Every structure is written in structure tokens, then in C-alpha cells.
Amino acid sequence: MNKKILVTGGTGYIGSHTVVELQQQGYEVVIVDDLSNSDIEVLDRIETITGIRPTFEQFNLIDAEKTDALFAKHNDLSAVIHFAASKAVGESVEKPLLYYQNNISSLINLLNAMRKHNVQNMVFSSSCTVYGQPDVLPVTEEAPTKPAESPYGNTKQICEEILRDTASAYPEIKAIALRYFNPVGAHDSALIGELPKGVPMNLVPFITQTAIGLREQLSVFGSDYDTPDGTCIRDYIHVVDLAKAHIIAAERMLEAKGKADFEFFNLGTGTGSTVLQVIKAFESVNGIKLNYKIVDRRPGDIEKIWADTDIANKELGWKTERDLDNMMETAWKWEKNLRENLIKN
């Protein structure tokens, strides 16, 4: 009997890629998503890729009653992989209460339902923003977390603390937080990928939308940082590599291989790339000249961060396999397929 996994936010960018990997590894998947930042058509595309249509429940996890009813209905869940959250850094500064309510009460409702219905394992989508600007690079899991630069980042820190305290108080609950660096790229099929609503905040969707002509020009936020070419450094990780780590983390708990009831791991490549290096990789692998200009720094940006991946590599037996060129190639293939085929208008 295949193990059944609940994926919250499973029609979203990272969620959909994780659902594909779960199904391809023989897991049965239930998705809960409120479709506030994704489209129902993603279910069709997941089915096209894997041949299996995930069970889909549509509601927001801040509804405690519906959340509990979901666990009563699917009373054979082995684990929860929790992606559903509001995640726009800038928006969180304008609407902090929306972020605290959505991101934190959703987690609390899930944990209450897990306890009540004896679902013991949670993989939580966290972020390297918990480190702020690290004092030492590459940044390891032992590095101190710093006061968050945004309410969004703060919700990630608070949620990790909720998981730590819950797992320590209730022996039946185990949790693993995965601290993502910068997820980019798309599935090789070009049927699923990043599809931000409105004007993209993040670098790579802005690059691909500029290349396809949806955006006039990419603004590069600052070239006076203390980096090789003056632009910020980030650790970009392919979304498929990232998705695979979630299954490994779930299995670590399902097979009781964890060393503690609450664990957290960096999910990065261990390599930092500047903004200009990302642009150059995009241009060379896709044979495109990108229209961009250097402008002032973006408030709130940290200068540089990249992951020390030793603990994740060793403890999870997981390593990234895809490089920056493949990230840029798959991101572009997705953007073209999306605009030419998937979005009719």
C-alpha cells in the first residue's frame, strides 16, 4: 500500500515539483491549496507528467475546521509537506498582519490536526532568510539566526520555533525544516515552473519575462557591493534538486533515521553567483542578449549568501545535481512554453 502524503501549497512552484517527484517515487499525494497564488491547471500538467492526478482539496489552512476535516477524511496520512504560505518579502512589509495570520495560524492548525489524527511527520518549507546577512560564509546550520529583515522572514523564524517547541513537547510529532536558498529553474517537461502573479519580485522570472518581451528591461539592483562584480551574491538552486530533498527528509522521519525530533538543513548548492553571472549564464546558454540596466540598491537586500551544504549532504545523503546553466535553460524553456502554449491569450 503506497504511503499517502499531504502536500500543502501543492499547486505552487516548489510544491508542484515536489508532487511530481513524490508520485514518481510511488507515493500517493493529497494536495490542499487555496489557489491564491497558483492555478488549478497545474493539476492537469502534473497528471500529464506523471499519469496520476493528485487528490485536490481547495481551502485556506487558516480555517481550522476545514483543516481538521481534511485529516478526518484522509485518515491514513504518513506525513505532511508544508509549502502553503504567503511569501512576497515586499508585500509582507506592507501587510504584516496578513502574513502573521496566514503563515502562523496555518501551521498551528496543521499541527493541531496532526496531533489529533496521529500524523507524526512534517517537512517544513523554511528559508535562508533566517540567517539575515551571515557573518561567516558559507553559512552553516550552526550559524545564529538574525532578526528578520521582513515580516515574511520573521514568520519563517517563528514557525521554526513553533516546530521546535511542538516536537519537544509532543514525542509523537517530528519535524524537519528545510532552509531554501534561491529556488530557480523548472521541470524538464516545461509544463510546470515559476509563475509569479503580477510583476515578478524575484530575479529569474524577471529575466525570463524580459527575454520574452513581457517586461521592457531588467533592473539590476546595485553594483557597488563588496563582491567580484559589485552585484549581490546568492546561492541559486534548481527547483527539481530542491524537490527531491523533501522526499528524502520525509523518509528520514518515516524510517526514524532522525537524530532529533526537530532538525533543520540548508538546501543550497554551496556555490554563490552574482546577479551579473546569472544574467551572463542566461544569455550564453539560451543565445539571448538581455536588456538590463544597473540601478540603485533594493532596500532590504543582503549583500551575499551561499550555503555550506556539508550537513545536508551527509545527513540527508542528498546533493544538488544541476548547475546554473541548466537552471537558466529550463527557466527559459518554461517561460516560452507557458506564453506560447499554456496561456492561450
Give the residue numbers annotated as catalytic, written as ranges. 152
**Contact window for ligand WQD (CB under 6 A) among 110-118, 160-168, 217-225, 237-245:** 217-225
Q: Does 273 bind ligand WQD (CB under 6 A)?
A: no
Which of 6, 163, 173, 275 forms a contact with ligand WQD (CB under 6 A)? 275
Name the 3-class secondary structure at 264: strand
Q: How far is the CB of 274 from ligand WQD (least distance, A)?
A: 8
Site size with ligand WQD, rule: CB under 6 A: 18
Q: For residue 186, which phi and psi values (nearest 5 degrees)? A: -155, 165
Which of 220, 239, 242, 250 forms a contact with ligand WQD (CB under 6 A)? 220
Residue 138, preceding peptide bond in cis (omega within 30° of 0): yes
Q: Does 232 bind ligand WQD (CB under 6 A)?
A: yes
Q: How far is the CB of 162 from ligand WQD (least distance, A)?
A: 18
Q: Does 87 bind ligand WQD (CB under 6 A)?
A: yes
Q: Does 234 bind ligand WQD (CB under 6 A)?
A: yes
Which of 11, 18, 129, 330 forms a contact with ligand WQD (CB under 6 A)? 129
Q: Residue holding cell 560564509?
A: 137
DSSP letter for 129, please.
G
**Contact window for ligand WQD (CB under 6 A) among 24-32, 196-204, 247-255, 320-328:** 196-204
Which pairs with CB-CB distance under 8 Å and at least 24 residues apart come from 311-316? Answer: 311/140, 311/141, 311/265, 311/266, 312/245, 312/265, 312/266, 312/267, 315/252, 315/259, 315/263, 315/265, 316/245, 316/248, 316/249, 316/252, 316/265
Which of 182, 309, 320, 330 forms a contact with ligand WQD (CB under 6 A)? 182
Q: What angle do CA 96, 80, 107 make, to 5 degrees?
A: 25
Nearer to ligand WQD, 289 or 344 (CB): 289
Please give the residue whose beta carbon sits closest to ligand WQD in the complex.
232
CB 172 within 8 A of CB 120: yes
- Integer Rg of the chain from CA: 19
Q: Does 298 bind ligand WQD (CB under 6 A)?
A: yes
Taking the C-alpha atoms of residue 305 and residue 47, their distance in angstroms, rounded to an integer, is: 36
Taking the C-alpha atoms of residue 166 and residue 179, their distance in angstroms, rounded to an integer, is: 19
Q: Does 304 bind ligand WQD (CB under 6 A)?
A: no
Q: How far is the CB of 221 from ligand WQD (least distance, A)?
A: 4
Contacts of 50 (CB under 8 A, 6+ apart): 20, 23, 24
**Contact window for ligand WQD (CB under 6 A) among 51-59, 95-103, 197-205, 307-315:** 197-205
1-30 positions binding ligand WQD, by CB under 6 A: none
Nearer to ligand WQD, 232 or 249 (CB): 232
Taking the C-alpha atoms of residue 269 and residue 320, their distance in angstroms, rounded to an integer, is: 6
Q: Which residues bind ligand WQD (CB under 6 A)?
A: 87, 89, 127, 129, 182, 201-203, 206, 218-221, 232, 234, 275, 298, 301
